[in-house]
Amino acid sequence: MDSIKGLHHVTAVARDPQRNVDFYRNVLGQRLIKKTVNFDVPDTYHFYFADETGTPGSVMTFFAWPNTERATRGNGETAAVAYNVPVGSLDFWQGHLTRNGITPEPVEKRFNEDVLPFDDPDGMRVELVASVSAPAIRFWEDGPIPQSYTLSGFHSVTLWLDEVEPTVDLLIDHMGYTAAGQEGDRYRFVGGADALGHIVDIVHRPGQPQADFGAGSIHHIAFSVPNDEKQLEYQAALHQAGVGVTPVRDRSYFHSIYFREPGGVLFEIATNTPGFAIDEPVNALGEALRLPTWLQQNYAAIEQGLQPLILKPIEKAK
């Protein structure tokens, strides 16, 4: 069975749909590639942000739940998501974020890379990592960020856990990751070096409070496999290892299985196929509300029940 190389997408929770789109599209410069609904609760938005075409490993998605209370970070969750940015771009990002109402933390040095941490408008921790060897993405020419500074897919995710060893066993023995070092209480594991989002960090926080889920929480992280066949291999192997893995679920743009790692973090394994251009052309991604076939008969009622959304004009960053 082939090892998992890296991430497919990360899904989090936002409170205000308009604010979420304004920030990730107009400030961070991620293209809104899909405007749909939560397939399980179709009265709320599900947004997908990515590079120009939705390359796996660049896709950040949000459930927009307006009545959700603000989260508190803690153990048992993915506590941060990090993007690649070009080396030398962090000064630009410090100024750009500050001009747009976000106060970044001081730059940190982590595994010989410079890291700029900040919280998004819902309090979710985002990090920009000045990375020399980030894999290529499809640059969004119409976005607000010049290519010399643009986000280039995911670098890593960080889990906060009470115990490290059980999750390490899962990552190494059942998902094909390799231990890549330790700095203090942070442990690093890597998949395929040529893949987006190929790094998983675990921060060991024994005895610390558990996370309080809400707006600003990362709901789950999804690992990438190329197709249905590989996904079924993982499903069978995880089941055989005693992991409680779900049946395959059709998410229209990919197929998914879900399970919780030993520390409680929700993992998904998602297929790269069929992709985000199956129901609208690439040049129109994200412009109209798209629903799966089983919800099409309720299209008018679902659309009417959603908060109106405006895609504001893009202003080029300086």
Handedness of CA 268, 272, 277, 283 (dihedral sign): positive
Pairing status of strand 186-190 against strand 249-250: unpaired
Token pair in block for residue 298: 């309720």
How many angstroms separate the CA atoms of 97 and 147, rounded?
17
How many angstroms separate the CA atoms of 256 and 85, rounded?
28
How many residues are present in the chain? 318
**Nearest C-alpha neighbor of 10 from the set 179, 191, 200, 177:** 200
Token pair in block for residue 260: 């919780």
How many angstroms separate the CA atoms of 261 and 266, rounded?
7
Q: What is the pLDDT of residue 133?
A: 82
How many angstroms separate the CA atoms of 150 and 159, rounded?
25
> Which residues, including other chains, have CB under 8 Å from residue 100's CB and lie 6 or more apart?
23, 27
How many angstroms separate the CA atoms of 53 and 150, rounded?
15
Note the maximum CA span of the chain: 54
User: How does pLDDT run along the chain (318 residues), one tens digit per residue?
Assistant: 789 999 999 999 999 999 999 999 999 999 999 999 999 899 999 999 999 999 999 999 999 999 999 999 999 999 999 999 999 999 999 999 999 999 999 999 999 999 999 999 999 999 999 998 888 899 999 999 999 999 999 999 999 999 999 999 999 999 999 999 999 999 999 999 899 999 999 999 999 999 999 999 999 999 999 999 999 999 999 999 999 999 999 999 999 999 999 999 999 999 999 999 999 999 999 999 999 999 999 999 999 999 999 999 999 998
Please, are residues 127 and 80 in contact by the beta-carbon 8 Å criterion?
yes
Q: What is the pLDDT of residue 193?
A: 87
DSSP per residue, 15-82? S-HHHHHIIIIIIS--EEEEEEE-SSSTTSEEEEEESSS--TTSEEEEEE-TTPPBPB--BSEEEEEE
Q: What is the pLDDT of residue 184?
A: 98
Residue whose entry in the numeric block shows the structure tokens 């991430």: 7
How many angstroms separate the CA atoms of 54 and 196, rounded?
12
DSSP 237: H
Domains of the chain and CATH, by start:
7-305 (3.10.180.10)
Could you tell me how far CA 85 lies from the centroid of its own chain?
A: 15
How many angstroms separate the CA atoms of 1 and 181, rounded?
25
Radius of gyration of the chain (CA): 19
Instruction: Report how far apart the first and last C-alpha atoms of the chain are (Å, whole number).
Output: 47
